[in-house]
Structures are given as C-alpha cells and as structure tokens.
Amino acid sequence: MRVLLLIIFALMISVCANACKCIPLPINDEIKLSSHIFHGRIILVENNQFEIEVIQIWKGNIKGKVFSLTQGMTSCEKRTFELKKEYLFYVRNKSVDNCSRTIEFDFTTDIQQLDLKFSRKRNVGS
C-alpha cells in the first residue's frame, strides 16, 4: 500500500513540475522575443489551428490579410482564442505562448507604446 501511495505521489509531482510557469515580461522584452506583433480578428477555429484576419501590424512581415496560427499541445502553448474576437497578438515561431502579453484587443494598454516604438505600423489594406 505504501509503495502504491509513493508511486501516485511521485506521478503527481512530475505532472505538476511540467506545468507552465508564467513570468510576465516587460513590453520591451516581449517585443524583442516576438517575430510578429499585430491586431487581428479570429475568423476560423479548428482544433488547435486559428485563422486570423490581420487588421494592423507593428512587427513582422505578413503576406496577405490572413495569418495562420497553430497552437502547440503543451501547457505553455495550448492557448485558445474565441471566434470573432479581436486580440493583440505577440507571436513567436508561428504560435502564441500562454505567458505572452497576447490579450483581447479591448483590454490592452500596449497600443501607445507599440505606436511609439514602431513608427511604421501598417493598417492592412491601406
């Protein structure tokens, strides 16, 4: 019985040890780590894949008006987004880390800082 309890306890510890631990980054660090920073609206949700209508770009080259995002399956990459909602995306390697500053667009306070940092922001379709 004790052996069984020890095994269960060890398994619980190993599962907890693999959980994603978030340490919020200052905006300048997040900007450096991100390959793409943009404002977009979710237009398609399919399992862990998202199609995003790009509205405004601060960093990164995005061809066309749609950005495809595939989220990983680990606790640090399994982020979901709601259809038709708009977000400010901080993307690293074609995915969004759970700990990134990515947030619903209406709730972000980063826009002014991004506008100051990137004088060449682009509205898509302009």
| pTM across the whole model | 0.79
Backbone phi and psi for residue 41, each to the nearest 5 degrees, phi listed first: -115, 130
Helices (H), the chain: 2-17, 27-33, 111-117
Taking the C-alpha atoms of residue 106 and residue 47, their distance in angstroms, rounded to an integer, is: 25
Range of lowest pLDDT (44-48, 58-62, 96-100, 118-122): 118-122
CA angle 80, 20, 95 (to 5 degrees): 40
Tens-place pLDDT, residues 4-61 = 544 555 444 444 445 677 888 999 999 999 999 999 999 999 988 999 999 999 999 9
